[in-house]
Amino acid sequence: MATWITHLRIADEYLKRGLIPYPKEFSLGSVAPDCGYGEKDSYGDFSPPPEVTHWAPGGIKLYCEYWKFASTYLSGKERNADYCFYLGYYVHLITDIMWSMMVYLPSTIKYEKEFKKDPDFLKTIKLDWYDLDYKFLRDDPSFIPYKYIRDAGTVKDYLPYYEPGQLTTQIRFIYDYYSDPSGRVLDREYKYLDEKTIAGFIKCAVELIDFDLKKKGFLVY
């Protein structure tokens, strides 16, 4: 739901604070829920589907059962590299819930008429989402989590519901998606989402995630 760079920017907030002993694995985990095979923006037509990758009944990420993921992969586990991958995955799931509530659903209300007229109107809105990602990477070429994505190499098969090698393939796809911004107009007015709103979302998301991680003891501050 949230863009890949938004997920990585949230991951970066934890890396900058020195809280993650295995930053590469945490960064990879932060995009791993979006590693289903399928056409980007195809409204959930992925393999495995969002019901599986996002632990979301009916594929609705707002209803993600993130606590079930945590009980399987985080609770009582050794704090090693695998743990950091799963922690990044967990943060992604929580972030998508907040993005649904704070960005996506308000847009469907604000532009209700446009959505009724055009079934593909979400793609119009998402153009702002993704162009802001490209703009962010252009303006911050040293962004560390993206370099971890670039240099991921062969990714361990962490999860049984992905095919062998699927994480490797799809994480490479995420890097490649952002590698060529040609043809995109990035210095323009952003009608549906702007950088100030994204920055505010990230700040709020990190505060709420901090509360959750501290309460459950998933991260030592």
Residue 116 pLDDT > 70: yes
Give pLDDT tens digits for 191-221.
999 999 999 999 999 999 999 999 999 998 7
pLDDT digits (tens, 9 = 90+) for 159-190: 999 999 999 999 999 999 999 999 999 999 99
Q: Which helix (H) or strand (E) holds 12?
A: helix 4-16
Which residues neighbour 203 within 8 Å (Cβ) at sequence distance 6 or greater?
Answer: none
**Rounded Cα distance, 94 and 13, in Å:** 15
pLDDT of residue 221: 79
Residue 105 is classified by DSSP as H
Q: Which residues of 154-190 are buried (b: 16+ CB within 10 A; e: fewer)?
A: ebeebbeebeeebbbebbeebbeebeeeeeeeeeeeb
Judge whether residue 44 has pLDDT over 60.
no
For residue 88, which of 14, 193, 166 has the smallest C-alpha distance? Answer: 14
Q: What is the pLDDT of residues 81-94, one digit of tens each?
A: 999 999 999 999 99
Does the reported pTM lie above 0.75? yes
Q: Where are the domains of the chain?
A: 4-216
CA distances from 113 to 79, 102, 124 (A): 49, 19, 14
For 209, the enclosing helix (H) or strand (E) is helix 195-216
Q: CA dihedral in degrees (204, 87, 162, 7; nearest 10)?
A: 30
**pLDDT tens digits along 140-150:** 999 999 999 99
Q: Please enumerate in sequence order all residues whose Cβ is within 8 A of that of 18, keeping only pairs 6 or more positions apart, or say none.
A: none
CA separation for the pair 214, 120 (Å, rounded): 40
